[in-house]
């Protein structure tokens, strides 16, 4: 269940957010949404692939943490074992909402912060304070606002990015068969990656356009990030051995 409400310093003056990383707080995800503006940080730790939304037909960029549902190989009893946690994970339990406001007699849409009060991270006794005791945003809430703005901008940019990938036929579906040291097998389906043959056939003009938008760098970062699949395999094998 979710209970999204508009965040405000009156109703939520005692609100605190638990920032510990654990499965009990919903961090046992096997992938999360990301976007080109985040690829530089993501590719240092996680494989980047693409996934098609069956409802809309649109593509998202995703960072992979495991091989199956509710498997996050970066989670341990000590927290999240990587120096960078994706923004889509870190922003919980906050999200961007919209409201209409009047400015000089003109109705305009404004982005505002909402909070999911049913999220297990929400507390009044422990965690990071959202507001100061006598009003005003804490540094933590300012950081949340920056994260939400980056996510909003990044997802809009991702729509343009994937549209350009599709325009030049640069996405291809793939099936990845994984065999672990103990003989267990997993098959990953439903993901897409960059078609390197099509990329190598692009004209200089198209490559220049991709570069101008910053997308050529994002393409190569997503391709390079896939070397992190070896890291995921090592983590899963180590987990099995320890068990």
| pLDDT at position 205 | 97
Condensed to tens digits (0 to 9), the pLDDT of residues 99-130 reads 766 666 677 777 899 999 999 999 999 999 99
- What total number of domains does the chain contain? 1
Condensed to tens digits (0 to 9), the pLDDT of residues 142-198 reads 999 999 999 999 999 999 999 999 999 999 999 989 899 999 888 889 999 999 999
CA distances from 229 to 80, 82, 203, 234 (A): 18, 15, 30, 9
Query: And the tokens for 89?
Result: 């994970």
* Residue whose pair of structure tokens reads 């991709």 in the numeric block: 210
| pLDDT at position 102 | 65
Question: pTM, whole model, 2 decimals?
Answer: 0.91
**Run of H or E including 143:** helix 139-167
The answer to whether the CB of 171 falls within 8 A of the CB of 195 is yes
Determine the structural domain holding residue 152 and report its residue range.
Answer: 4-242
């Amino acid at each position: 269940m979710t209970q999204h409400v508009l965040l405000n310093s009156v109703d939520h003056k005692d609100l605190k957010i638990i920032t510990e990383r654990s499965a009990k707080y919903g961090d046992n995800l096997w992938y999360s949404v990301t976007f080109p503006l985040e690829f530089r940080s993501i590719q240092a730790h996680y494989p980047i692939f693409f996934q098609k939304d069956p409802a809309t037909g649109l593509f998202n960029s995703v960072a992979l943490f495991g091989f199956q549902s509710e498997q996050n190989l970066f989670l341990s009893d000590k927290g999240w074992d990587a120096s960078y946690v994706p923004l889509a994970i870190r922003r919980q339990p906050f999200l961007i909402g919209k409201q209409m406001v009047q400015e000089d007699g003109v109705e305009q849409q404004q982005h505002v912060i909402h909070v999911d009060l049913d999220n297990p991270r929400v507390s009044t006794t422990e965690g990071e304070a959202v507001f100061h005791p006598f009003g005003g945003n804490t540094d933590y809430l300012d950081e949340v606002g920056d994260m939400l703005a980056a996510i909003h901008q990044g997802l809009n940019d991702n729509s343009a990015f994937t549209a350009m990938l599709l325009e030049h036929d640069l996405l291809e579906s793939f099936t990845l068969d994984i065999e672990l040291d103990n003989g267990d097998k997993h098959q990953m389906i439903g993901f897409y990656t960059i078609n390197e043959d099509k990329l190598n056939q692009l004209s200089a003009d198209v490559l220049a356009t991709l570069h101008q938008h910053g997308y050529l760098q994002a393409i190569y970062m997503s391709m390079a990030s896939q070397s992190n699949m070896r890291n995921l395999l090592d983590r899963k094998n180590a987990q099995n051995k320890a068990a």
